[in-house]
Amino acid sequence: MQLSATHYDERLTAPRSWWAIVVLVGVAGALIALPLGLLPTLVGLVGGCAFAGLLVSSYGAARVRVVGGALAAGDARIPLAALGEPHVLNAEEARAWRTHKADPRAFMLMRSYVPTAVRVEIIDPADPTPYVYLSTRKPQELSQALRAGRPDA
């Protein structure tokens, strides 16, 4: 049995500026514990940084992959045969599709710090989800991978 190669793999990591906020949360924890002594201050610093770092890291752990005839986006696994034509969205179009054009039934893996996206219609009649919205820093590459991985390609 031959394993299918990954056609596309992207991790939507949090921006560097968020890591500066992690340090500030740690400093705030240290300042809160400062009246209690040196050891609680160090615990506040390390604990605040660890907690905030865990939150930022987990939020930035979302992955978008096209592998093995399926689109894996976050927790969703969608066969490429159930997907229609991908539409590359520039920053302005992506903003519109995550706000006033958004359908509440759609599957959306969006990150506000990623300005561009790809929207793909769901063509499976048994699936009530109208489309998939995926934030991506490389919309052209994702679109090409979705096209190349489809069974009719």
Question: Which range of residues forms the domain containing residue 52?
Answer: 8-59
User: Do residues 106 and 34 both lie within one domain?
Assistant: no
* Alpha-carbon torsion, ordered 69, 79, 11, 3, to 10 deg: -30
User: Do residues 80 and 137 both lie within one domain?
Assistant: yes
For residue range 112-148, list pLDDT tens digits in order. Answer: 889 999 999 999 888 899 999 999 999 999 999 998 8
- If DSSP codes are grouped into helix, strand and coil, which group holds residue 67? strand
Residue 3 lies in a domain: no
- If DSSP codes are grouped into helix, strand and coil, which group holds residue 131? strand
Residue 2 lies in a domain: no
User: Do residues 21 and 74 both lie within one domain?
Assistant: no
Structure tokens at 98: 């995550």
Helical (H) or strand (E) element with 97: helix 91-98
Of 1-5, 58-62, 63-67, 86-90, which range is least confident?
1-5
- As a whole number, the mean pLDDT across the chain is 90
Q: How many domains does the chain have?
A: 2
Q: How far apart are CA 105 and CA 129, in angstroms?
A: 5
User: Do residues 82 and 125 both lie within one domain?
Assistant: yes
Residue 87 lies in a domain: yes
Burial (Cβ within 10 Å: 0-12, 13-18, ≥19) of residue 87: middle
For residue range 85-116, list pLDDT tens digits in order. Answer: 999 999 999 999 999 999 999 999 999 889 99
The separation between the first and the last C-alpha atoms of the chain, rounded to the nearest angstrom, is 21
User: Do residues 85 and 142 both lie within one domain?
Assistant: yes
